[in-house]
Structure 1
Amino acid sequence: MNRSMKSAAMAASLLALLGCAGAPIAPVAGQGPVAVAEIGSFHTGGRSVTLSGLPKKEVRFTPTSPPTLLDPNGEFEVEQMYTQYVKLAPQSRRARYPMLMWHGGGLTGVTWETKPDGQPGWQMYFVAAGHDVYVSDAVERGRASWARYPEIFKSEPVFRTKKEGWELFRIGPADSYDSAASRHAYPDTQFPIAAFDQFMKQGVPRWVTNDEPTLRAYDALVNKVCPCVITVHSQGSTFAYTLASRYPDKIKAVVGVEPSGALDPDKVDVAPLARVPLLFVWGDKIRETPRWQGIQAPMKKMIAAVKARGGQVDEIDLPAQGIRGNSHMIMMDRNSDQVAALVQDWLVRRGLATR
């Protein structure tokens, strides 16, 4: 099967899926299924590294294969980022620019795909709303791949426990997680708690010393794909706001879903951000969580500085709007389509999409 036939087959498969997705995407899919033109992927960023002086060792690549002398010395490609895209046919496209979806710390692009309870995620929602969507696995995550430590990555990987995920992501209050058999959630949580263990299977190791190569890879992505809109979650926001400040003509808006990485206006000129429409979406229980108040405070400082420079900044405080129980993983909560609709409405009001 040649490349064009493969692309057509993949597009037909996703088209059929979109046409059968049902109620979860009905608010935007009521006009009928969308037509997909192309599904594909690529890597950006990265560099070539040569290692030498490492010891050889004997390995078996399968239980029945003969021993092989493995030589770890030589050239490698490292610090690259992976991106998968879904491009719509022109008749189905209702957004002016593609949407890039960037994940948070210890996570991958799975954040935006199928939710842990099996329901469609925001990738599906915004494709059905008429957006070309690009979902990335940043440097060191998922299909971007790792590199050797300490020869290339300079620190050991960090792993997230279930307790940290449960409490930091505000599924339950502090000290509400003892074990999988002994944990209690907020009574009004929107997170599908029966799927929490399934969600934690998405967790991957992260390195706290790789911000520079990650920024370079995202920079390469922006220059390859944009003009664009970026929808970013949590730790990924540091890269989004840095690049929006660097490329205010290429990045047409940034939707921050509980962003946790701000630019410090005392150290960085945030004036270019005043040229980029910014939306911030906040879930519930932030005011009751001291750690989250500390995370949010630098973001509020950046918001105030951008507003002072005439920036277009909007915030959706979900509990203030009567939408209660949202966790840090808003795009996975049971009411995630309701929140996605608010984001889509904002994009329409900003002239970046149509209904």
Structure 2
Amino acid sequence: MMRWMMAALLAIAAPAFAQAPLEVREIGSLHVGGRIATLSGLPQRQMTFSAGAPPVMLDPNGEFQVEQMYAQYVKLANPRARFPLLLWHGGGLTGVTWETTPDGRPGWQMFFLRAGHDVYVSDAMERGRSGWARFPEILPGEPVFRPLGEGWSLFRLGEPAGWNRDPARRVAHAESRFPIAAWDQFMKQGVPRWATTDRQIQAAYDAYVQAVCPCVVVVHSQGGNFGFNAVLHAPDKIRALIAVEPSGAPDEAADAARVKGVPHLVVWGDYVAEHPFWSRARQNIERWQARIREAGGTAETLDLPAEGVRGNSHMLMMDTNSDEIATRVQGWMAAKGLMR
């Protein structure tokens, strides 16, 4: 048995940190990255911003701060981890992914704080508290919005035919670990996203790494490719990368030898083979992992069904066994020497 798996199993058996009181040194936030954009030639118009307020002329021209990124941090009085842990969310979502599960349980932010990490939770450029800019003048294209039913299949709760607007008539995978009754609550977290802003998002993440690292990064879904590339851009700053169901990987031109000193772990849930998008995505990820290993690096996989853990959706950090999965990830980090 791999050393990190043994550490994980021991931690599952006796998670001493699970209910320990938190002693917090600091809670704060920061914005990083971005640029000044200038608009001109747009028409002015009269607006009333609040009922009962006098109208004003709105001039949409001028200089604007755009493409910045927001992160909140919680720093412990006595962290047991050697480096802060950065949690990066997926597409159409924000840092809320990591905070509280849709059915009200503590999320991975709290889990890893209790495990001894300083934790940063961010909203990618154009999401949440990072804000977004005028489009298409500054952000190219237009925002994409996710319907309630799209994620049912994309996030692997069930087959597309299993979706129904009536919660009582929805059909999930038989062993699904997602809290099905909280699906509508989860979808309240959805925000607009763009399909044309990867360059700007990557630039903001790279600025974030420069501002707060050395660190360990945990990414999810769309955040996966940004995390893989962030390691390529700053292998001296990121001490490990944990990719939870990443949806994309670096292209063929990427130099895997640059990241051979940074251990990678990829985590997969269940039903991947039954959903063509995810089976193709996993093939791409495994090719990137193989290239890292060929270059002499570490690129391991935590395949939960292969470990006998069935029913996990794409939203592993929200599934009913989310703490068990986090414990395995914590065991891997401990085995890699990332804890004091």
- Shorter-normalised TM range: over 0.9
| 1:301-320 correspondence to structure 2 within 5 Å | 301-320=287-306
Contact 1:106–1:206 (8 Å) recurs in 2: yes
Number of the residue aligned with 1:78: 66
Number of the residue aligned with 1:152: 138
Read off the aligned partner of 1:262 and give its amino acid letter: A
Residue 183 (structure 1) aligned to one of 128, 146, 170: 170
Q: Which runs of 5+ in 2 are unaligned?
A: 1-13
Give the TM-score normalised by structure 1.
0.90
> CA RMSD for the aligned pairs?
1.4
User: 1:31–1:63: structure 2 CA closer, same or farther, 3 Å change rule?
Assistant: closer
- Distance (Å, rounded) in 2 between the aligned partners of 1:177 and 1:32: 40
SS in 2 for 1:40: strand
Contact 1:28–1:125 (8 Å) recurs in 2: no
- Of residues 332-341 and 28-37 in structure 1, the stretch that sits farther from structure 2 once superposed is 28-37
Contact 1:95–1:353 (8 Å) recurs in 2: yes
Number of the residue aligned with 1:198: 185
Cα offset, 1:179, TM superposition: 2.2
Number of the residue aligned with 2:6: none
SS in 2 for 1:45: strand
Number of the residue aligned with 1:61: 49
Number of the residue aligned with 1:131: 117
- Distance (Å, rounded) in 1 between the aligned partners of 2:160 and 2:302: 25
Cα offset, 1:232, TM superposition: 0.3
Number of the residue aligned with 1:245: 232
Cα offset, 1:67, TM superposition: 1.4
Contact 1:257–1:280 (8 Å) recurs in 2: yes
Cα offset, 1:116, TM superposition: 0.7
Contact 1:34–1:130 (8 Å) recurs in 2: no
Residue 34 (structure 2) aligned to one of 38, 46, 59: 46
Matched, 1:89 2:65: no
Residue 295 (structure 1) aligned to one of 281, 298, 301: 281
SS in 2 for 1:243: helix
Cα offset, 1:29, TM superposition: 2.5
Cα offset, 1:146, TM superposition: 0.8
Number of the residue aligned with 2:11: none
| 1:202-221 correspondence to structure 2 within 5 Å | 202-221=189-208
Number of the residue aligned with 2:246: 259
Contact 2:18–2:114 (8 Å) recurs in 1: no
- Distance (Å, rounded) in 2 between the aligned partners of 1:337 and 1:135: 18
Cα offset, 1:71, TM superposition: 1.1
User: 1:216–1:30: structure 2 CA closer, same or farther, 3 Å change rule?
Assistant: closer
- Of residues 288-297 and 314-323 in structure 1, the stretch that sits farther from structure 2 once superposed is 288-297
Number of the residue aligned with 1:167: 153
Contact 1:228–1:251 (8 Å) recurs in 2: yes
- Of residues 172-181 and 63-72 in structure 1, the stretch that sits farther from structure 2 once superposed is 172-181
Read off the aligned partner of 1:99 and give its amino acid letter: L
Deviations 1:155-204 (A, max 9, x none): 01111111111110001123211324442111210000111000000000
Contact 1:263–1:270 (8 Å) recurs in 2: no
Cα offset, 1:35, TM superposition: 0.8
- Distance (Å, rounded) in 2 between the aligned partners of 1:31 and 1:353: 19
SS in 1 for 2:15: helix
- Distance (Å, rounded) in 2 between the aligned partners of 1:196 and 1:105: 17
Cα offset, 1:31, TM superposition: 7.0
- Distance (Å, rounded) in 1 between the aligned partners of 2:254 and 2:156: 31
- Give % identity: 57
Q: How many residues align?
A: 327
Read off the aligned partner of 1:319 and give its amino acid letter: P
- Of residues 190-199 and 207-216 in structure 1, the stretch that sits farther from structure 2 once superposed is 207-216
Residue 120 (structure 1) aligned to one of 85, 106, 118: 106
Q: Which runs of 5+ in 1 are unaligned?
A: 1-25
